[in-house]
């Protein structure tokens, strides 16, 4: 076995590869481009391109691609080979600086939400030098952002990079006020914990619903689910362990810091967590991780399900977004410090996050909104659709002491003044207990838990970065003009606590009473995607994004449309899949079984007139009733789908899918699942929940 440290990052053109292969000068220029966003001179780009090409060819690559993240939710690539014809009928391998820096994929087939009509169809991809190039399946992949020719963002990376710039700018202003003149850049960091299901491929292949939609649309509850809590952190089965080993190896080769793996709560559910990285790199890595998870699974005769709710009745899968802010001098700004001044700075950044989460609850909710995640949020397993924050009891006491001008702690005689006192260090253990909060402080970072397992992390981090940038801007505006900094700082912190503490909730977020309490506090409860999305285009939110140059208004409106359209398409595919399964497989199977029951009743009667036919008779009767019910629900669903064709307003259409189509789907499922319970296993056309959930041994 090879030593991990020998092959870690071997498929990445990382800093050490750059250093080894670039002339000193070019290396320096490239470092400046990476660290300070400086533009790379065309001549230097040519040198870099050539070095990357030689490196890639040595590793067996023949093609290159600009790798990007369009609004489809997955990554896109179009391969070009390095070959260029020579005069003598042979070829040479070429890759120019221009090819490295910019590509021109046809943008017309990617979702653009109306941007296409307004602007040119052509798009271009632009190199993101902060995220290293890598080799995947013999192709050199260059991480890029994807824009229209007018400069409108057509992807998820562009706004993320813009939001990182926004928070960098405002955080630097605030840090200057605390005398941190040595800090030249501030970056947000993210470690996404990824949940997933692993099921047997043979069973997967027999389920049209999994194939077409990624989740089961039918399925009666198995005798055993997750009630014994015997899967979480349980012993990992050999077949799963073999999968995890190969997955780790593939990720490590790509320089992805896969760190933790364990079984999750539901049967067949697992989690993978990496060590955190700078946000845009983390987003690239998470995208790659999801892709490789699925690829490696196939090699092991497994399928990796990334859907947020593949199975009813057991937990769905989320993706916890651990987020923090760090300086280039290595300070984590969300970690309480050792000195009064560090603590004051920490408190101010904490207040920025509290105010941001309160002011932009709607946007955070929207950033995780998808048809799939709607099945998860608000169910008794995932955070509710209400955005609130957990900060732990120690920190709450600190905030309370500041708010009420009362002494803090048992021994403390004086009042707590920001900038004078040292806060206690919070041991991580005592701050990380609340698992039901959507947005929890965990000692030196926040963990946003509403994200679904299939979601890109770009959206929620774009919102977080921008919202916190806005609060930091307001703080800097106020404090830069203050006559007395300490007093102004204290007053500001106190005011934020008073005005925004209603978003802080340290109790059980799964409790029903929280819903009522949250309503009293005036917090939003946007239960579904169609409920949440309209907030995207509210004036306050358009102002936020445009003032920090993260989105133009046109981009916001186009994304609003793309997201609604996507919601409608997903539900529509699910509904059509149900119709197909019910008509072609399920109803015929029930009828066949009824026929077999009556055949065996007939056979029994031949034995004698006094035989007991109750099993055949009662089951056949119940099944006939259920198939009637299912058939009528099926016809209702088909009628609803017909109706959708006559709705042209996308907002109205999304609401119709949510209220009418989903309800009809539920009704059909209920009847079919009851019928499954009564039907002999060999007649049922699909593997059961029990086989799917417990099939990997
Ligand atoms: P758990 O949540 O299971 O207790 P940890 O708290 O150790 O585990 O870490 C969870 C995730 O948070 C990991 O991906 C880790 O790398 C990430 N993380 C730790 N520190 C930071 C940070 N400063 N910024 C962003 N993510 C972080
Ligand atoms: Mg965690």
pLDDT band at residue 329 under the 50/70/90 scheme? very high
At 428 the three-state DSSP class reads helix
Q: Which two tokens stand for residue 390?
A: 């957990």
Whether the predicted pLDDT of 267 surpasses 70 = yes
Q: Which two tokens stand for residue 94?
A: 């070429």
Cα–Cα distance for residue pair 582/669, rounded to 1 Å: 9
Q: Could you tell me which of 679, 688, 672 has the C-alpha nearest to residue 595?
A: 679
pLDDT of residue 35: 84
Instruction: Answer whether residue 190 is part of any domain.
Output: yes
pLDDT of residue 232: 80
CB 166 within 8 A of CB 553: no
For the chain, helix (H) and strand (E) counts, in that order, are: 26, 17
Cα–Cα distance for residue pair 495/474, rounded to 1 Å: 13
Instruction: Answer whether residue 556 is part of any domain.
Output: no
Label each residue of 583-615 as H, E or C. Answer: HHHHHHHHHHHHHHHHHHHHHHHHHCCCCCCHH
Instruction: Answer whether residue 559 is part of any domain.
Output: no
| Positive or negative torsion for Cα 469, 474, 477, 479 | negative
Distance 449 CA to ligand 2 centre (A): 9
Q: Are residues 543 and 588 in the same domain?
A: no
At 490 the three-state DSSP class reads helix
Instruction: Answer whether residue 481 is part of any domain.
Output: yes
Q: Are residues 380 and 336 in the same domain?
A: yes
Q: What is the pLDDT of residues 337-366, one digit of tens each?
A: 888 788 899 999 999 999 999 999 999 999
The segment with the largest mean pLDDT, out of 215-229, 272-286, 497-511, is: 272-286
Cα–Cα distance for residue pair 128/151, rounded to 1 Å: 15
Q: Are residues 53 and 88 in the same domain?
A: yes
Tell me, what CATH number does 373's domain have?
3.30.590.10
Residue carrying the six token digits 């007649």: 683
Tell me, what CATH number does 665's domain have?
1.20.120.1560
* Ligand of minimum distance to the alpha carbon of 457: 1
pLDDT of residue 410: 53
Q: Are residues 297 and 420 in the same domain?
A: yes
As for how many domains the chain has, the answer is 3
Q: Which atom of ligand 1 is nearest to the CA of 275?
A: 16
Whether the predicted pLDDT of 156 surpasses 70 = yes
CB 264 within 8 A of CB 231: yes
Which of 167, 194, 276 for a ligand 1 pocket mutation test, highest count of atoms within 8 Å of Cβ?
276
Q: Which atom of ligand 1 is nearest to the CA of 323?
A: 25
Q: Which two tokens stand for residue 313?
A: 């009745």
Distance 135 CA to ligand 1 centre (A): 27
For residues 239-262, give the mean pLDDT.
Answer: 95
- The range of the structural domain enclosing residue 617 comes to 566-694
Q: Are residues 67 and 149 in the same domain?
A: yes
In the chain, what percentage of residues exceed pLDDT 70? 96
Instruction: Answer whether residue 558 is part of any domain.
Output: no
Residue where a domain terminates, one of 551, 578, 612: 551
Q: Which of 73-87, 98-112, 368-382, 459-473 has the lowest mean pLDDT?
A: 98-112
Residue where a domain terminates, one of 551, 581, 600: 551
Whether the predicted pLDDT of 115 surpasses 70 = no
Which of 259, 322, 427, 435 for a ligand 1 pocket mutation test, highest count of atoms within 8 Å of Cβ?
322
Distance of CA 592 to the CA centre of its chain: 43
pLDDT band at residue 264 under the 50/70/90 scheme? confident
Tell me, what CATH number does 106's domain have?
3.10.20.70
Instruction: Answer whether residue 560 is part of any domain.
Output: no
Whether the predicted pLDDT of 390 surpasses 60 = yes
CB 681 within 8 A of CB 222: no
Distance 322 CA to ligand 1 centre (A): 6
Mean of all residue pLDDT scores within the chain: 92
* Ligand of minimum distance to the alpha carbon of 193: 1
Q: Could you tell me which of 197, 215, 385, 383 has the C-alpha nearest to residue 312?
A: 215
Q: Which of 413-427, 528-542, 567-581 has the lowest mean pLDDT?
A: 413-427
Q: Are residues 255 and 316 in the same domain?
A: yes
Ligand 1: does its nearest atom lie under 6 Å from the Cβ of 444? yes
Burial (CB count <10 Å: 0-12, 13-18, 19+), residue 658: buried
| Positive or negative torsion for Cα 286, 289, 290, 291 | positive
Cα–Cα distance for residue pair 447/5, rounded to 1 Å: 29
Instruction: Answer whether residue 520 is part of any domain.
Output: yes
Q: Are residues 438 and 377 in the same domain?
A: yes
Whether the predicted pLDDT of 1 surpasses 90 = no
Q: Are residues 168 and 134 in the same domain?
A: no
CB 235 within 8 A of CB 693: no
* Ligand of minimum distance to the alpha carbon of 190: 1
Residue where a domain terminates, one of 551, 578, 608: 551
Q: Could you tell me which of 219, 302, 232 has the C-alpha nearest to residue 267?
A: 232
Cα–Cα distance for residue pair 377/386, rounded to 1 Å: 9
pLDDT of residue 695: 87
Ligand 1: does its nearest atom lie under 6 Å from the Cβ of 278? no
Ligand 1 atom 1: residue of nearest CA? 432
Element (H, E) at 459: helix 458-480
Q: Are residues 597 and 644 in the same domain?
A: yes
pLDDT of residue 426: 62
Cα–Cα distance for residue pair 298/64, rounded to 1 Å: 25
Whether the predicted pLDDT of 80 surpasses 60 = yes
The segment with the largest mean pLDDT, out of 62-76, 201-215, 326-340, is: 201-215
Vertex 575 angle, CA 574 and 581, to 5°:
90
Q: What are phi and psi of 207, to 5 degrees?
A: -115, 105
pLDDT band at residue 491 under the 50/70/90 scheme? very high
Instruction: Answer whether residue 557 is part of any domain.
Output: no
Cα–Cα distance for residue pair 66/100, rounded to 1 Å: 8
pLDDT band at residue 117 under the 50/70/90 scheme? low
Q: Are residues 536 and 589 in the same domain?
A: no
pLDDT of residue 432: 57
Residue 477: count of CB within 10 angstroms of its CB: 11
For residues 225-233, give the mean pLDDT.
Answer: 79
* Ligand of minimum distance to the alpha carbon of 335: 1
Whether the predicted pLDDT of 209 surpasses 70 = yes
Burial (CB count <10 Å: 0-12, 13-18, 19+), residue 131: buried
Q: Which atom of ligand 1 is nearest to the CA of 257?
A: 16
Cα–Cα distance for residue pair 46/68, rounded to 1 Å: 21
Whether the predicted pLDDT of 119 surpasses 80 = no
Q: What is the pLDDT of residues 625-657, one digit of tens each?
A: 999 999 999 999 999 999 999 999 999 999 999
Q: What is the pLDDT of residues 404-454, one digit of tens each?
A: 887 776 555 566 777 767 676 665 555 556 778 999 999 899 999 999 999
Q: Which atom of ligand 1 is nearest to the CA of 442?
A: 6
More confident of the two residues 401 and 669:
669
Ligand 1: does its nearest atom lie under 6 Å from the Cβ of 50? no
Q: Are residues 499 and 583 in the same domain?
A: no
pLDDT of residue 88: 87
Q: What is the pLDDT of residues 556-567, one digit of tens each?
A: 999 999 999 999
Ligand 1 atom 11: residue of nearest CA? 191
Q: pTM score, two decimals?
A: 0.95
Residue carrying the six token digits 């995780």: 368
Distance of CA 529 to the CA centre of its chain: 15
- Tell me the DSSP string of 313-332: TS---BEEEEEEEEETTS-B
Q: Are residues 200 and 101 in the same domain?
A: no
Q: Which atom of ligand 1 is nearest to the CA of 443?
A: 6
pLDDT band at residue 197 under the 50/70/90 scheme? very high
Residue carrying the six token digits 């912190």: 493
CB 21 within 8 A of CB 55: yes
Angle between helices 340-359 and 157-177 (to 10 degrees): 140
Whether the predicted pLDDT of 552 surpasses 60 = yes
């Amino acid at each position: 076995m090879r030593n991990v440290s020998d092959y870690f990052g071997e498929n990445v053109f990382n800093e050490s590869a750059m250093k080894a292969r670039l002339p000193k000068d070019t290396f320096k220029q490239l470092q400046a481009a990476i660290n300070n966003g400086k533009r790379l001179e065309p001549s230097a780009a040519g040198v870099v391109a050539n070095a990357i090409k030689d490196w890639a060819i040595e590793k067996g690559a023949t093609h290159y691609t600009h790798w990007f993240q369009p609004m489809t939710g997955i990554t896109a690539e179009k391969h070009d080979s390095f070959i260029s014809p020579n005069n003598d009928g042979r070829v040479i391998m070429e890759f120019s600086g221009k090819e490295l820096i910019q590509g021109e994929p046809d943008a017309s087939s990617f979702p653009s939400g109306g941007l296409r009509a307004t602007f040119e169809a052509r798009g271009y991809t632009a190199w993101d030098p902060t995220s290293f190039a890598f080799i995947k399946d013999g192709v050199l992949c260059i991480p890029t952002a994807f824009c229209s020719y007018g400069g409108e963002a057509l992807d998820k990376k562009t706004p993320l990079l813009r939001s990182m710039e926004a928070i960098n700018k405002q955080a630097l202003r605030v840090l200057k006020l605390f005398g941190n003149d040595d800090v030249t850049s501030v970056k947000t960091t993210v470690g996404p914990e990824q949940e997933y299901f692993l099921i047997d491929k043979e069973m997967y292949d027999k389920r049209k619903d999994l194939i077409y939609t990624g989740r089961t649309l039918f399925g009666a509850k198995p005798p055993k689910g997750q009630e014994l809590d015997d899967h979480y952190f349980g012993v990992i089965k050999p077949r799963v362990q073999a999968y995890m080993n190969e997955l780790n190896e593939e990720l490590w080769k790509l320089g992805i810091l896969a760190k933790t793996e364990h079984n999750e709560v539901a049967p067949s559910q697992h989690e993978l967590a990496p060590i955190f990285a700078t946000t845009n790199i983390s987003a690239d890595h998470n995208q790659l991780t999801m892709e490789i998870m699925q690829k490696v699974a196939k090699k092991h005769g497994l399928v990796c399900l990334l859907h947020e709710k593949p199975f009813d009745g057991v937990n769905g899968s989320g993706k916890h977004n651990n987020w923090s802010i760090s300086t280039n001098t290595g300070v984590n700004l969300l970690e309480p410090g050792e000195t009064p001044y560090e603590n004051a700075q920490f408190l101010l950044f904490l207040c920025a996050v509290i105010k941001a989460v309160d002011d932009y609850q709607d946007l955070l909710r929207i950033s995780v909104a998808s048809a799939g995640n709607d099945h998860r949020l608000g169910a008794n397993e995932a955070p509710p659709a209400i955005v609130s924050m957990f900060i732990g009891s120690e920190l709450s006491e600190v905030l309370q002491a500041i708010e009420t001008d009362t002494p803090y702690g048992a021994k403390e005689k004086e009042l707590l003044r920001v900038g004078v006192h040292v806060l206690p260090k919070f041991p991580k253990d005592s701050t990380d207990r609340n698992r039901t909060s959507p947005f929890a402080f965990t000692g030196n970072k926040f963990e946003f838990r509403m994200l679904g397992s299939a979601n890109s992390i770009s959206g929620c981090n774009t919102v977080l970065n921008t919202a916190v940038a806005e609060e930091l801007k307001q703080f800097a505006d106020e404090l830069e003009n203050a006559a007395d900094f300490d007093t102004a700082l204290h007053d500001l912190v106190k005011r934020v606590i008073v005005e925004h503490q209603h978003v802080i909730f340290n109790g059980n977020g799964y409790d029903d009473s929280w819903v009522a309490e949250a309503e009293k506090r005036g917090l939003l409860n946007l239960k579904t995607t169609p409920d949440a999305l309209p907030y995207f285009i509210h004036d306050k939110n358009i102002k936020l994004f445009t003032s920090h140059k993260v989105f133009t208004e046109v981009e916001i409106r186009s994304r609003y449309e793309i997201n609604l359209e996507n919601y409608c398409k997903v539900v529509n595919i699910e509904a059509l899949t149900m119709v197909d399964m019910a008509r072609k497989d399920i109803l015929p199977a029930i009828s066949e079984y009824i026929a077999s029951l009556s055949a065996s009743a007939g056979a029994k009667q031949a034995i004698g007139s006094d035989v007991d036919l109750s099993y055949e008779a009662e089951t056949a009767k119940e099944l006939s009733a259920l198939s009637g019910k299912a058939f009528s629900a099926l016809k209702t669903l088909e009628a609803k789908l017909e109706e959708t064709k006559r709705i042209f307003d996308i907002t109205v259409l999304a609401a119709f899918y949510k209220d009418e189509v989903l309800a009809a789907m539920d009704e059909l499922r209920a009847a079919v699942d009851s019928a499954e319970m009564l039907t002999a296993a060999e007649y049922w056309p699909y593997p059961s929940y029990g086989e799917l959930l417990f099939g990997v041994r």
